[in-house]
A and B are shown apart, each in its own frame.
Chain A
Amino acid sequence: MKLKHLESLLGRLQQFSNPKVELEQYPTGPHIASRMLYTAENSFGDVSDKVVADFGCGCGTLGVAAALLGAEHVIGIDVDPESLELASLNAEELELDIDYIHCNIKNLGLRAEVVDTVVMNPPFGTKKKGADMDFLSVALKVASQAVYSLHKTSTRNHVKRAALQHLNASSAEVICELRYDLPQMYMFHKKREVDIAVDLWRFVPQSRI
């Protein structure tokens, strides 16, 4: 599938209607989501025929993109039941078969080894400090092949150090820098939308063998 086609399919998905600010529910837009999964598939082979988990799946964009690119089994996980309902509808609309789990990522009991790739747009931690690193810590325990994640560019050094020194990553690379439209309720600015710089990361977990 071409990148343009993927992006336009993702553009048809419904987004949060009543975003919950404390859960940092802002949608991963089609532009970013398509590039994230397209790179994971075409540069690294981490999607097609794989088991992919989408942490904090929200409206489900990243998991849907994985399924469209040929993932064999996709699991979306979120703490918010309304998001899961929306994500299910979005998957159904595109005739994709995706499993959803209602769970707090911090308490997730998911056996390592079976999931190949975790994709996620974690809460950036603007409402609850460290939320993104909680997600990353669990992702690196669950994934056997790679973790793709978005983090604010301003935290780049911190993310790298924490991933390599404390969270079991054997490598942590920024693939590209993207612009992210964050609704103003998450910022201290007056503008309606603020675009912030975010990094697309690829982490490789240490092999457990």
Chain B
Amino acid sequence: MRLLTHNMLSSNIKGVTNGFPLRIEAEKVVEKQVDLNIDFLKNMFPKIEWKALVSASRTMGYAELPEEVEPSKLDSEEFLRKFHHALLELHLEEGALVCPETGRRFPVSKGIPNMLLHEDEV
């Protein structure tokens, strides 16, 4: 699972008001190379929850993203390459996603998070 997916996924357990962002427990991270698409990144940037991406990428062992970004950064290819790497090239292969409110763990196996809810959670 890429961090772009992580950036939109939340815990939807009944009663939870703030299920985003899911905390990551990383047991295995893999990298897969993707071609750089600058227009895509520029278009995506305003839709990204930046803090969630920064902390998710750190948990995955990548600490190059700055905490704060001024819009002018989008003209820097160096910055875009880092954003690209964090968003599209890092994959959580094994581990878990944890609901920030309840601590409920959603296991991730072979890159696939299991977000199925139990009967008493819906």
Contacts and interface: CB of A to CB of B under 8 A. Distances in A.
Contact of B5 (A79, A99, A106): A99
A75 B9 CA distance: 11
A114 interface: yes
Contact of A99 (B1, B34, B48, B115): B1
Contacts of A113: 47
A165 interface: no
A207 B112 CA distance: 31
A73 interface: yes
B63 interface: no
Contacts of A51: 4, 44
Interface residues of A, number: 26
B interface: dominant SS: loop
Interface in A95-115: 97, 99-104, 106-111, 113-115
Nearest to B43: A49
Contact of A104 (B19, B48, B113, B116): B116
A2 B116 CA distance: 38
Interface string B86-122: 0010000000000000000000001111111100001
A41 interface: no
B68 interface: no
Contacts of B114: 81, 102
B10 A111 contact: yes
Interface of A: 49, 51, 72-73, 75, 79, 81, 84-85, 88, 97, 99-104, 106-111, 113-115
